[in-house]
Amino acid sequence: MKDFRSSAARGVTPYVCGEQPDDREYIKLNANENAYPPSPRALEAMRAQMEKLQYYPDLTSAGLRRAIADAHGIRPEQVYVGNGSDEVLAFSFLTFFAGKTLCAPDLTYSFYPCYAKLFGVDYREAPLREDFSVDVEALLGGEGDVILANPNAPTSLELSQGTIREMAERLNRQGRLLIVDEAYAAFGTGTAIPLIDAYPNVLVIRTFSKAHALAGLRIGYAVGQEALIEALNGVKDSINSYPLDRLAAAAAQAAIEDTAYLEQTVSLICQTRDRTAQRLAKLGMTVLPSRTNFLFATHPDVPARTLLQALREDGILVRHFSHPRLENYLRITVGTDEQMDRVVRGVERAIGRA
Shortest CB 109 distance to ligand PLP, Å: 4
181 binds ligand PLP (CB under 6 A): yes
Using CB under 6 A as the binding rule, whether residue 290 contacts ligand PLP is answered as no
Residue 147 β-bridge partners: 179
Query: Does 207 engage in binding with ligand PLP (CB under 6 A)?
Result: yes
Q: Is 85 in the site for ligand PLP (CB under 6 A)?
A: yes
Using the minimum distance from each CB to ligand PLP, give the nearer residue, 61 or 85.
85
User: Which residue in 109, 119, 132, 221 binds ligand PLP (CB under 6 A)?
Assistant: 109
Part in contact with ligand PLP (CB under 6 A); list of ranges 55-63, 159-167, 209-217, 310-318:
209-217
Which range touches ligand PLP (CB under 6 A), out of 208-216, 222-230, 298-306, 343-351?
208-216
Does residue 57 belong to the site contacting ligand PLP (CB under 6 A)?
no
Q: Which of 39, 209, 265, 293 binds ligand PLP (CB under 6 A)?
A: 209
Based on the shown chain and the rule CB under 6 A, indicate whether residue 30 belongs to the binding site for ligand PLP. no
Binding window for ligand PLP (CB under 6 A); candidates: 80-88, 222-230, 231-239, 342-350 = 80-88
**Residues between 113 and 172 with contacts to ligand PLP, criterion CB under 6 A:** 149, 153
- Separation CA 67–CA 39 (nearest Å): 15
Nearer to ligand PLP by Cβ, of 252 and 302: the residue is 252
**Which of 84, 105, 144, 188: binder of ligand PLP (CB under 6 A)?**
84
Number of chain residues interacting with ligand PLP (CB under 6 A): 14
Which residues here bind ligand PLP, judged by CB under 6 A?
Answer: 32, 84-86, 109, 149, 153, 181, 183, 207, 209-210, 215, 220
